[in-house]
Structure 1
C-alpha cells in the first residue's frame, strides 16, 4: 500500500466550533512576554521549577476504526481538504520559517487584540487510546481559543480518542507510528502531511511521537516544533534497552525542537538533569482541569445501591488504566491488613487494561474476591469517585495526574505515592497523604489513618478541592500554552529557572 492515509471524516466542523469560555487564571510558565498581554494586565507569571491531565472518565467500550485509503491524495488528504484547513488557518502562501514566524505571530498576540486568521496547530498524539496524554489533548481541544488557533490531530492508530475529538469538531489524520519503533514509512507520511497542511505549529506527545515530529517538522519546514513530555521514561514500564534508545533519541533530536514542554516541575527537572536536554529548551506548563465541570450526575447513595453495596460499607477505590505503572498490585497487597481492621471495607477498581485478568487472579489469591469490585471502563467516573470515602493512587510513576486532580476536585481525600508531580498537588498532611511507591505496608497505614479519622479526611478533601481550583485550572493551563505558542512564533528563547542545577 502506498504511504497515504485518509483523514478521519468529521473534522470539517473544526472552524465553526463554538468558542469555549475563557478564564483569567494566571499562567504557570516562567516566560514573561509583554507582547502577549495587554499592558494593563501584564503581571509576571509565577516561576515554578524549570518552567514556571488522566481524565479518569474511561471510554465505555471500543470505538469505530479510523478509515484508511491508499490513493486519497498526498498524506491521505481528501481533495481540497489541506487547502481548506490552510485557508482557515490563514496560510495562503508558503513562507520560509523566519518570515512565517513574524507573519504568524501577529495572529496570536494578546487575547482580544486585532489579529489575522487563526493559525493551524497540528498535534501528533502518542496513541489513540485513553491515558494522560490523550486526556490532555481532549481538554486542550475543548478550551483552546479558536479565534486564534485552529486545531488538528494526527493519531498513530484507531482508538477512542478519535471519536471524542470528532465530537468537538477536530479533524484527525492517521499516521502509522505505532507499527514499530523505527518506521521510515511513517516519517515519509508525516512529512507529506506537514507539507500538505502547512501548520504554523506542530506539537507532539510521547517519546516516539516527539522524535518523529522533530525530524518531520524540520524536513517539512514547519515554523515551530514543540515536544510534550507527560512522564519520565526513567520510571516508565519499558525494557531497559528500549528506555536507553528512547532517551538517546530524545537527547539527540531535542535541538530540533523549539521548546520541550513538561507537564510538571518534576518532569522538567528530569528532562534537564537525567535526559541531558538543554535547560533553555524546557518550559513547564502544568496540567489543569475544569474542576466545576467534573461533577457527579447521581447522588452517592444511588451509586452505592446500583453497585450492590451496604450503606455501612467503607468504600475506597482507584481510577486508572490497569498497567504496571499504576501500581494496582501494591494496592491489592495492602488491602488484607486494611480489611482486618475494617471488615466492611470495599475497594472499587475503576478502569480496564492489559493487567486486569492478572489483577483479578491476584485478588482471588488474597481472599479479596468479595471485597474488590472491578468495574471495567466506565463513562460515569465522576459518579463513582464521588461515592468513595477516599481515593488511592498507588502509581510507580506519574507526570501530573488528571485522575488525582479530578478526585481532589470532588473533595475526596487522597492517598498517593511520592512520585513525579504528585507532591506538586498534594501537600502531605494537609491536602492528602503521600507514601513511598511500592510500599504496601505504608499504603495500608495511610488508608487506615483516613478511615479511622473521617473528620480529618473530610478536612483534607475540602482543602484539596480548594487547592485544585486555585492552582490547577484548565484555563490557566491553556492560556499558558497559548503564550508558549506565541513566544515560539516570535522566536524568543526560553530562560531556565535558577532552581535547575547540575
Structure 2
C-alpha cells in the first residue's frame, strides 16, 4: 500500500446556508422576537444570518444583535411604490450570496419577492398577524396568487392567520403551513419579582393582574380597565400592572382616573427586559381585538401563569379554555372581570392552570421547536445539520 493510498479521506466542510431576513425594523415586538430567535437559534447550525430593515431604522433588538456580531442593514423605503428599494435589496442578495430570503410581513414579502426573482435565493414568507379590522384589497386578488405560486414556502403563525391569508389575501390554502411562534422559557426569580412589587408600592400579599404589551387601540386595554374597575369594586386591595408604552397611554391614564382606580393601576412605561415585572403578576391579561401568536402570552405560560384572554385570532389555539387559562368573548368587560375574580377566589385552580400552561408551552411553543421547523423549510430536512441542542425526535415529540 502506498503512502498516498493510506491517507484518510476527509469530507470537505459543508458550505454554510446563508439567510437574509427582511423586515420593517427590529424594534420591540413579536415579529422582531421571532427573527431574533431564528438568528440566534441557528447560529451554531451551519447557518449564517443577516437582517435587512427597510423602514430606515434598526431598533433596540437589532442593535443588541449587532453588538453580538450579527450584521443588520437598513434601507429607507420611500412613500409609494419604491423601485429603488427592489434594486437595493437585489444588490444585497447578490453581494451576500444568500441561499434564502425570509420575508416577514406582507410588504417585505412583496419587495423581497421582486428582488429575488433573478437571483438564486429561495423566498420564504411569514405572515405574523393581521390588522384590525381586516379588509379586502382587490389588487391582492390579482397579484398575490402569482406571488404565492412562485414562493416556495408561505408560513402563518396560527390557523386564524392562515384563514385570513386565504380569505383576504387570496393565497391558496394548500400553499400555507402553520408554525407557531416559539420562545426560550423565562426563569422566575421570586426575590427580583418581590423587589419589583416593593419598588411599585404593591403590598406583598396583594393580588396582581397585568399585561406586557404595546398600549395600542388594537390591544383594547380600555376594556381591560373597565373590567378591572368592576373587579376591584369587590376586591379593593388588588392591582393592575400595565407594562409597556404606546399611542394609547395618555387615553388609558385618563380612563383610570375617570374610573377612580388610578391609585391601583400602575403604568410602568417601556421596560427593556420585563421578566421580573411579568413574574410579579398572579394572572396575565390579554384583551386584544385580534392576535396572531402573542409572545408575552407565551412568556406568561413559561412562568406557570394562567391567563384571561379574549377569544380572538390565535388565542384559542394557544389557550385551552378552562385548562391553561380562560377565554372570553372580545370587548366583554363584565365576563372578563368575572373570570379574574374566579382565579382570585380559587387559588388551587389558578395553580393547576399555571402548571398546565407550562406543560403546554414546553410541548408546543419552545424556541427549539420553532427553529427546527423553519430549518426544514430553509434546506433539505434529510441532510440538514440542525440538532438545535437536542435530537430531532425529542423536538418532534414535545
State TM-score, norm by structure 1: 0.69
Contact 1:272 1:279 in 2 (8 A): yes
**Taking structure 1 as reference, are residues 309 and 297 closer, same or farther at Cα in structure 2, changes over 3 Å only?**
closer
Which residue does the alignment assign to 2:242? 349
Structure 2 residue 191 is matched with structure 1 residue 301: no
Report matched runs for 1:32-431 at 5 Å. Answer: 116-156=14-54, 157-158=56-57, 159-177=59-77, 179-218=78-117, 220-233=118-131, 235=133, 250-291=144-185, 293-296=186-189, 298-431=191-324
Q: CA deviation at 1:247?
A: 7.6
Q: In structure 2, the residue corresponding to 1:150 is in which secondary structure? A: strand
Q: In structure 1, the residue corresponding to 2:281 is in which secondary structure? A: coil
State the Cα RMSD in Å.
2.3
Q: CA deviation at 1:249?
A: 5.2
Which residue does the alignment assign to 2:391? none
1:92-146 deviation line (CA, Å, top 9, x unaligned): xxxxxxxxxxxxxxxxxxxxx9861202100001323211111111111221153
Structure 2 residue 384 is matched with structure 1 residue 485: no
Matched length: 371
Q: Using the alignment, how far apart are the partners of 1:361 and 1:250 within structure 2?
A: 43
Contact 1:352 1:376 in 2 (8 A): yes
Q: Using the alignment, how far apart are the partners of 1:248 and 1:326 within structure 2?
A: 32
**Taking structure 1 as reference, are residues 456 and 488 closer, same or farther at Cα in structure 2, changes over 3 Å only?**
closer
Q: Using the alignment, how far apart are the partners of 2:159 and 2:301 within structure 1?
A: 19
Q: In structure 2, the residue corresponding to 1:412 is in which secondary structure? A: coil
Q: In structure 2, the residue corresponding to 1:370 is in which secondary structure? A: helix
Q: CA deviation at 1:477?
A: 0.6
Stretches of structure 2 lacking an aligned partner (at least 5 in a row): 1-10, 384-398
Q: CA deviation at 1:346?
A: 0.9
Q: Using the alignment, how far apart are the partners of 1:296 and 1:209 within structure 2?
A: 39
Q: Using the alignment, how far apart are the partners of 2:194 and 2:93 within structure 1?
A: 51
Q: In structure 1, the residue corresponding to 2:285 is in which secondary structure? A: strand
**Taking structure 1 as reference, are residues 232 and 302 closer, same or farther at Cα in structure 2, changes over 3 Å only?**
same
Stretches of structure 1 lacking an aligned partner (at least 5 in a row): 1-112, 491-502
Q: Using the alignment, how far apart are the partners of 2:174 and 2:289 within structure 1?
A: 29
**Which structure is richer in relative contact order (CA contacts within 8 A, separation 6 or more)?**
1
Q: In structure 1, the residue corresponding to 2:39 is in which secondary structure? A: helix
Q: In structure 2, the residue corresponding to 1:180 is in which secondary structure? A: coil
Q: CA deviation at 1:198?
A: 2.3
State TM-score, norm by structure 2: 0.87
